[in-house]
Structure 1
Amino acid sequence: MRLRLGAVLVTALTIGIALITLVGLLGTNIGPISAQIERFGITDFARLLLQFAAVTAAVAVLVGVVNLLGVHLRRTRRRGQAIYSAVLILSFVIVLGFGILPRDNEARAAVDGVQIALETAFSGLVLFSLVYGAVTIANRRPSWASLLFVVTVVTVLVGALPVRGLGPIATVADWLNRVPVDAGGRAILLGIALATVIAGVRVLIGQGRATRE
């Protein structure tokens, strides 16, 4: 198997930086070893690497935003697509202006008004999607999964209504919002954490796609 010198150097550099960062971040509470880590400046170097990574990510986001604006500026010259691109550019300029200008009550109220309106519209779309999904499932061949989905959607929607006399249904809806939703959120966070750990281990052993290529 032929090894390219560039790939070997990139892999070695990646593994070295990853190990230094890992030792600098996790080696601050290991007793006598922590003093040696601080003595050699590994912790400060790891923090410097993290700051460099944060700055690089911020620059990448800025480049992406500028590229997106450039694409929509070019689309404003076309018919049929100009209105959407113009609305996006105008919204970006307004939000950027609110972020740069001094914050006062009027600006905050304007931002909150737009944000609340967008959140309400998004909630309405989610509600419509749930109802449409329940109706679609009900029209197909029934199964225990489809029945469970329809019952859950109806219970949560009815329990959220501001109507008195829905004690048992409201209790069940509150339980569904607290227990299964929290469990699902924690499962998603655990999945993200495990994926991050696996990606980090692949980098440490030189099996990442960037280092292999």
Structure 2
Amino acid sequence: MKAMNYRGPYRVRIAEKPLPEIQHPQDIILQVTRACICGSDLHLYRGKVPDTRVGTTFGHEFIGVVREIGTQVQNLKIGDKVLVPFNISCGKFTFCLQGLYAYCQESNAMSATVGGVFGYSHLAGGFDGGQAEYVRVPYGDVGPVLIPEGMSDEDALLLTDVVPTGYSAAEMGGIKKGDTVVVFGAGPIGIMAARCAWLFGAARVGVATFKWRQI
């Protein structure tokens, strides 16, 4: 299959890679139909994320069609269209039971401080991401969500990261009806956080833009 391939800082290629295989009975294999390039991927591209290894495929925002399922997967079937959140989590143990899926210790043997993330270095588990024709998705009954009939691929794709990240930022801000809100940063997440602030009832929302200074 064709996949994005990291060759070092500021160097990426499209390369042939072996098709992913079921490695655990809870895995699914997804044929990717849409994938994004996230702003966070630029940190990887620039070599700013520790333990980003040559040969890695990026991509933590993707949707697709289920093409193969492990023997223990119960909630999905071949042919289902699903969106996949960027965090990889087991859904069973301490952090997952508290809703802290980003800290799932079962999904990432490489670190005790962060759970698995698709396409985001070996620090985050070394999983290949979705900027490829196919991707292996662990814990098929936990993360993937069926895409409802009538929802466009583009709308579903935004639900893998941008919308829930902006929404959770607004939610954690404790916004109440009539509040004045300032969002610092006008990237996709900042813009989504601003829109969600209105959803929560804010009366005024300002977005502050600024430039990062490279040191």
Scaled to the shorter chain, the TM-score interval is under 0.3
**TM superposition score normalised by structure 1:** 0.25
Larger Rg over CA atoms: 1
Instruction: Give the number of the structure with larger relative contact order, counting CA–CA contacts within 8 Å between residues 6 or more apart.
Output: 1
**TM superposition score normalised by structure 2:** 0.25
Return the structure number with greater helix share: 1
